[in-house]
Structure 1
Amino acid sequence: MSGDIHIGDSVTQHGDHNIGIVKNQGPVDPQAALRELATAVSRLRDQVPAEDREVLDESLEAIGDGTAAAPSVLRRALRNISGVASLITAGAPVVESVRRILDSFDS
């Protein structure tokens, strides 16, 4: 579904010919979101330099299953993952996964 941009929305555009904004309106299952993130990061790993792979691996390890990590550790790891992913076009799914997880903290 596409929608309008509202105050507080965060929009990241990659590529040409974008025609709308997808808004997922349902509640986020934190465990499913973490599994989605791990899958997206594994796809991204081979497209980044070794130093960035190390950051991704350490961050995923710090997150674990999300239940044991302190909120500050979890947020730092998510920011690190998002930072690496934002450097390359193929990282858009990872950035979106991080955004959904962070949104679930606020809901």
Structure 2
Amino acid sequence: MSGDSVMQWGDGNIGIIKNQGAASPQAALVQLVEAALALREQVPASDRQVFDTSVEVLRAGGTQDRGRLRRALASIAGIAALVGEVGAPVVSAVNSLVEAAGLR
């Protein structure tokens, strides 16, 4: 048998998501940088230097060692979490990059 086998219950079911795999590391990186730049003005001034430095580490991409990249991601995710709900897309983008790049 080929094709999709689907069982669904409840209200509000719309359809099947197809071709949804992990993002490529490069696509996840671009998404994270865009989300971080959109969040920047919401970051308290006291955290902005660390945030900006961490974004620059991401922009350097593959030229950074894994430890430095992980520290930058941790800083960005931590600051994004502290600013509240508005930071949620950045936290999600960090998690996507960590997964796509195998940084867990």
- The interval holding the TM-score normalised by the smaller chain is 0.7 to 0.9
Runs of 4+ in structure 1 over 3 Å off: none
Richer in helix (by share): 2
Give 1:94's aligned residue.
90
Unaligned runs of 5+ in 2: 1-18
- Count of matched residue pairs: 84
Deviations 1:77-98 (A, max 9, x none): 0000000000121000000000
| Structure 1: stretches of 5+ with no match in the other structure | 1-23
Q: Are 1:43 and 2:38 matched, yes or no?
A: yes
Q: Tell me which of 19, 28, 38 is aligned to 2:23.
A: 28
1:82–1:98 Cα contact (<8 Å) kept: yes
Amino acid at match of 1:79: A
> Secondary structure of 1:66's partner?
helix
Percentage of identical aligned residues: 45
TM-score, normalization: structure 1?
A: 0.71
Which structure is richer in relative contact order (CA contacts within 8 A, separation 6 or more)? 2
CA RMSD, Structure 1 to Structure 2 (Å):
1.8
Q: TM-score, length-normalised on structure 2?
A: 0.73
